[in-house]
Copies of this chain bind each other. A is one copy, B any other.
Amino acid sequence: MAENPFLKEEKIWVLDGAMGTMLMKKGMDVNYAPELLNVKHPEVLMEIHEEYIEAGADIIETNTFGSNRIKLSHYGLEDRVKELTKAGVRLAKEASRGRALVALSVGPTGVFVEPVGDYSFDEIKDVFKEQIEAGAEAGADLILIETMSDTKEAKAAVVAAQEICDLPVLVSMTYQEDGRTLLGTPPEVSAAIFEGFNVSAVGANCSLGPESFVNLVRRMASVTETPIVVYANAGLPVLKDGKTIYPEPPEVFGEYAVKLVEAGANIVGGCCGTTPEHIRAIKEAVKDLKPVKRNPIRGLKVASRTKLVFIGTGHPTRMIGERINPTGKKRLQDSLKRGDFSIVKEEAKKQTEEGADLLDVNVGVPGIDEPKAMKEAVRTVIETTDLPIVIDSKDPKAVEEALKMCDGRPIVNSCSGEVKDIKNILPLVKKYGANVLLLAIDDEGLKESAEDRVEIVERLLEKCEEIGIDRSSTLADVLNLAVSAMPESAVETLRAIRLVKEKFGIATTLGVSNVSFGLPARPLINSSFMAMAIYSGLDSGILNTGDSRMVETVFSSDVIVGKDRGAQRFTERFQNYRPKGEDRECRELLSKICQLSCSFLKGEKVSVEFEQKEEKKEGKKESEDEGAPEGVLGKI
């Protein structure tokens, strides 16, 4: 694994400024394949690099922002990726002579990856691999994936880089005035996603002037300890005398450099419109500064493209919607077999409305092409809801398809202590920067005692450490057994949760309803167990968000254990709570009305005496079999 250079020294690093602006200043035509200048005017690039290094840049960027197959194809240069990229790196290396690190600039391809666009994850990854491979071969010190608007595209670039080489990777996204990327990703989400890949820096660049970046940096710093890179434009460009002018002068960058460092930045530079003078001002301002100590929010970070959800101590108990799962559901099984994802869509929508925090996605139907079905199911969910996803499959191929389809940072459910899971699942989690649910079962099967289950989790954590998955990306599921089968098992499960929290401090989850398997009135058992589990340290549950009793239990338990201090969340949701009424009386009334109507229509004498009390008792058995109010509706 690449060592993180920005954590080695306690200093603020200075990145160089704009390339395009400088090329224009030096009379180059940047409207036609700027990367071509690497071979046409190498002396100009050498000059620019030299000027930035003299101004104080610790890192210079290669002129390779668009040297990928897709961008270069606009100029018919698609087969010159390697050549132009290598040339760009070599020029920077030559200019640097060891005085500055050379960062391979990797800009966006300009196309969208599925589900937003048509390109597959692997296609875009291959595009980046070609460029990055050339850059790495030519001797780049860092890979700087920058000016990205699409987390999926950036993820493909990161995976490409990490497949190719061990070089430190930096990922910088571009934000609009509303604090989100073009595709709606806020900075916390980006930070969470790329922290998952253990990148050397996350950050923001381009678009606006430096003042708008202070808050972006602060927001990233609030969720991660990954170093932050930030390089603003010299303000929004204005047209003056037919020329594009970037208004912010160097001294403003000096000023803001300090503020950015105070907000949490480790690497500060300039983007469009900035010059060596800007970089000089930054260098002057930060040269004696040190990175601030951060105290980011702790917990497991799960993200969709737009939403970050923390799971763990101090956070509300998260509800993972369990209903996209065909186990025991004939209708869903059949539709999945037909390639029909309408029920998946419907359940994604419903569970979101019901208040799920994450959605579990499981398409395990015997005989199905699970990788294909999983890919489509995840696509469907992503297109329907903004909730982060829990990829629920034991099939590594299906897991990988889902990982490639996810825009954010999902959880893989699950890696058990079984040898095949450790071998097949953990590397995927690592490769795609995901989180992983560690399931307390191994090749020996179910363990009844809490200690035995916790021991499996411990072993799995060691395996994670070996492969480079941080504890903060793990979620323990100590497994929930049916209390009807083993009366002590529920208490053992609760003890195991507490032990995991005490020993490892990691996030916990549980398939809640297993506890009541084989018993009547399961929601009663489930909700009481959930309250105890939350008290024992459970941070999330895989559960039915349509079970209002369960949802009420989660919210109320959080008040009791202090996760919802002041009961704010609870009060918001249940301010107007009324216990659900017994509908029997209502149904009996309807039934009586129907009888009366019939009698009336038949011309019979209508009796309007309601002998409610007695009817109730006699009618009990029957109306119980009838089902919900729909029964009455059907009759009418």
Additional A-B contact list (12), CB under 8 Å, known A580-B581, A586-B629: A524-B577, A525-B556, A525-B559, A527-B527, A529-B531, A535-B536, A549-B549, A578-B624, A581-B581, A585-B629, A589-B590, A589-B632
Contacts of A239 on B, CB cut-off 8 Å? none
Q: Once the chains are docked, how many angstroms separate the CA of A566 from the CA of B520?
A: 12
Measured as residues with beta carbon below 8 angstroms from the partner, the interface class of chain A is 35 or more
**Chain B: CB-nearest residue to A583:** B581
Interfacial residues of chain A within 536-593, with CB under 8 A of chain B in the complex = 536, 549, 552-553, 555-557, 559-562, 565-567, 570-571, 574-583, 585-587, 589-590, 593
Q: Which residues of B contact A484 (CB under 8 A)?
A: 566-567
**A521 beta carbon closer than 8 Å to chain B:** yes
Given A519-B570, A574-B520, A581-B629, CB of A557 within 8 Å of CB of B528? yes
List the B side residues contacting A258 at CB < 8 Å: none
Encode contact with B along A317-356: 1 for CB under 8 Å, 0 otherwise. Answer: 0000000000000000000000000000000000000000
Determine if A1 is an interface residue (Cβ-Cβ < 8 Å).
no
The answer, among B490, B570, B577, for a CB contact under 8 Å with A560, is B490
8 A Cβ contacts from A580-608 to B: 580-583, 585-587, 589-590, 593
Query: B582 to A580, Cβ gap below 8 A?
Result: yes
Residues on B with C-beta less than 8 A from A579 are 523, 549, 580
Q: B-facing mask of A612-630, CB < 8 A → 1, else 0?
A: 0000000000001000110
- Complex contact B629–A560 (CB within 8 A): no
A515 vs chain B, min Cβ distance (A): 7
Output the least CB separation between A279 and chain B (Å): 50
Q: Is the CB of A520 within 8 A of B583?
A: no
The answer to the question of A494 belonging to the interface, with a C-beta cut-off of 8 Å to chain B, is yes
**Which residues of B are found within 8 Å of A633, using beta-carbon distances?**
585, 589
Residue numbers in B under 8 Å from A561 (CB-CB): 490-491, 532
Query: Is A488 part of the contact surface with B, judged by Cβ < 8 Å?
Result: yes
A529 CA to B559 CA, complexed, in Å: 9
A445 to chain B: which residues have CB within 8 Å? none
Instruction: Give A473 Cβ to nearest chain B Cβ, in Å.
Output: 28
Which B residues are in CB contact (< 8 Å) with A525?
556, 559-560, 570
Q: Contact check: which of B483, B567, B575, B589 meets A483 at CB < 8 Å? A: B567
